[in-house]
A and B are shown apart, each in its own frame.
Chain A
Amino acid sequence: SQQGEEDPQALSIQEGENATMNCSYKTSINNLQWYRQNSGRGLVHLILIRSNEREKHSGRLRVTLDTSKKSSSLLITASRAADTASYFCATDANDYKLSFGAGTTVTVRA
């Protein structure tokens, strides 16, 4: 079953703009992860944030986690055409597996 749900389902932005997407989940988690998937390819891990962390950065990516609201956000700054992809959040609820959301499709226009 899906625990994480991303919002919006799709996002179209101009190159250079920032892209923000959100993930909400239902149960307590150990960590939350964000992945990127280019069309027709496997998923690539972007960043992992643990339940005791509130914010994490990696290059142009910034992830926040609010466990009281059971939500996370992924911000991509200064977007590039190569950022066009689907982005998924996945939660670890201590049951041997990750639960993935349905994803946000991001299109960066040149």
Chain B
Amino acid sequence: SQTIHQWPATLVQPVGSPLSLECTVEGTSNPNLYWYRQAAGRGLQLLFYSVGIGQISSEVPQNLSASRPQDRQFILSSKKLLLSDSGFYLCAWSKMAGDTQYFGPGTRLTVL
């Protein structure tokens, strides 16, 4: 069966510090991968998606970036965090575009 992992679960970082969130998927190959951000009490905002290794599409221009160095690894990064980067970050995968998405447990990021 497939599983998706995200870490860390929670993170408190100062403004201006770098960020690296990691997401890995097990039990499937060539998944579509997604990074979302969710503000408190709000819906999901798609940040990045990837249909293959090295292929990243950005939905929201900001100081975040994503990379997919391996088939089942998706990394969200920032060189300098802003206060507005605080939120709940969710990674998800699907077999094909438009299919059911399977979500990781999320990372709660607080930027102080």
Residues of A within 8 A of B (CB): 2, 30-31, 33, 35, 40-45, 48, 88, 90, 92, 94-103, 105
Smallest beta-carbon distance A12→chain B, Å? 16
Question: A97 and B97: CB pair below 8 A?
Answer: yes
Q: Is B101 an interface residue (CB 8 A)?
A: yes
Which stretch in B14-22, B78-86, B102-110 binds the other chain?
Answer: B102-110
State how many angstroms separate the Cβ of B92 from the closest Cβ of chain A: 8
B34 CB, nearest partner CB in chain A, Å:
7
| Given A41-B106, A42-B104, CB of A98 within 8 Å of CB of B42 | no
Which of the residues A30, A42, A101 comes within 8 Å of B43, measured between beta carbons?
A: A101
User: Which of B99, B100, B102, B108: most chain A CB closer than 10 A?
Assistant: B100
B residues in contact (CB < 8 Å) with A: 32, 34, 36, 41-44, 46, 49, 51, 57, 59, 88, 90, 92, 97-106, 108
Contact A2 B105 (CB under 8 A): no
